Amino acid sequence: MNKEFIKRQDGMTLIELSIYIALVAAVLVMATSFAWNIINSRTKAFAVQEVEQNGRYIIEKFSQAVRQANDITAPVVSASGTDLTLVMKSAPVNPTILSLSGTRLMFQQGAGASVALNSTAVDVTSLNFSNISSANGKSKQMRLQFTLETVNPGSRNEWEYKNNFETSVELLDR
């Protein structure tokens, strides 16, 4: 009679139920962890993209301005600083000035208003314009070195990214 009772038992034991609950919990923990990793990776990719895009834009604007300039007023030959003043061929854009204002790289042409070259999501944490022209004036060149860093008010690791940029450009057709 004892054998018949055991054979007709249709429910799960407490051990089986505990194993199923543990397996489901483990799968849910892994799925949640995987989802958070995807979200954090996407956030980090956005931070990297924002810094790189701003860096490329600043280099392009700097290169374009220097190539179109007639002369470099500041910094003088063999000097460096955080301000660049270029004498331009066209009167409406003369002078063209790039300068650091807080964490923004400002660009001004002639009497026009200054505009920030970097977005509000990115800070310029270091900036250096170096006049690497030859002393005899045959070659007029400028070097730009700067560091961009994402704005991270919450101090979250996935938003932290910074990169150093550097370029040199020679004045054309003086």
Q: Where are the domains of the chain?
A: 12-170
pTM above 0.85, yes or no: no
Q: Does residue 9 have a pLDDT over 70?
A: no
Q: Which two tokens stand for residue 144?
A: 């730009």
- Average the pLDDT over 12-33 and give the result: 88
Alpha carbon distances (Å) from 112 to 12, 30, 82, 162: 80, 56, 20, 31
Which of these, 57, 50, 89, lies nearest to 70 by C-alpha position? 89
Which of these, 154, 73, 141, 60, lies nearest to 105 by C-alpha position? 60
pLDDT in tens, 147-168: 999 998 888 887 889 999 999 9
Distance from C-alpha of 36 to C-alpha of 28, rounded to nearest angstrom? 12
Q: Does residue 130 have a pLDDT over 90?
A: yes
Q: Does residue 1 have a pLDDT over 60?
A: no
